[in-house]
Amino acid sequence: MDIPKFLLIDFLIFLAGTFVLISFRLFFKSSYPSPQFNNKESLNLANFSIPELSTLIDLEVRAKKEGNVIKFENLMGSWKFLKVWKKTTDLDDYFSSYLLRLFEATLHLMERDDLPNEFPLRITNSIKFGTLSLKFSGNGNLKGKQPFLNFYFEDIELSFGPKLIYRKTLDIPESNKRPFFALVALDNKNKWLAARGRGGGLALWVKQ
């Protein structure tokens, strides 16, 4: 399953929460800050160039044949979602890309402090609207020469600012049914990351 599609599984819950947030703010005239929609400014894209799809496809072909040199430590940090291309096409999945940028979809990776462990990565995916946020958290690892980022989510949380308003523990799928990303390329300055998900979509993130 692709990260964009996984994040949208509970989108109805998120939209319901968004409606509550907007109603709350209109009624109580809350002083919480408004969400930022200036994607280019928030992602700071002016400082580096974004690769074309053709370039990513070439890098993917090379990664499959030769592997790549993506290092564990270089993946650590927060990655803002930028764009996704549909499976087997050169078309931008505009609707998913727009929504996930609008709701500031973020992939966060950090090294777990309880090593050694089969899953040394802590992985979090989140989307937010103002102070309302939806977050999936779980664990992952890197395997293979491409390599593959294998992971699973173990809980989902909906928060209003610092207040947790909903939490659910997720069933951990069997190993052969877990989502993964085949890492395509990492910019040599760690500015962007590209990967293809289990569902076939090609996604691109930029470092926050």
Strand partners, 183: 195
Cα distances from 134 to residues 10, 157, 171, 183, 204, in angstroms, run 9, 6, 18, 25, 20
* Total number of residues shown for the chain: 208
Whole-number Å distance between alpha carbons of 83 and 78: 16
Residues 18-45 have pLDDT tens digits of 444 443 343 333 333 333 334 444 556 6
Whole-number Å distance between alpha carbons of 155 and 143: 23
- pTM for the predicted model, two decimal places: 0.77
* pLDDT for the residue numbered 19: 46
* pLDDT for the residue numbered 28: 36
CATH number of the domain at 3-207, please?
2.40.128
State which amino acid sits at residue 167: R
Percent of the chain with pLDDT over 90: 47
Residues 96-129 have pLDDT tens digits of 888 888 889 999 999 987 756 788 999 999 998 8
Tokens of 151: 């992971």
Place of tokens 């998900």: 197
Neighbours of 160 (CB within 10 A): 17
Domain boundaries, the chain: 3-207
Which stretches within 10-125 are classed as H helix?
11-28, 39-43, 53-66, 94-102
* pLDDT for the residue numbered 39: 45
Is the model more confident about 47 or about 129? 129
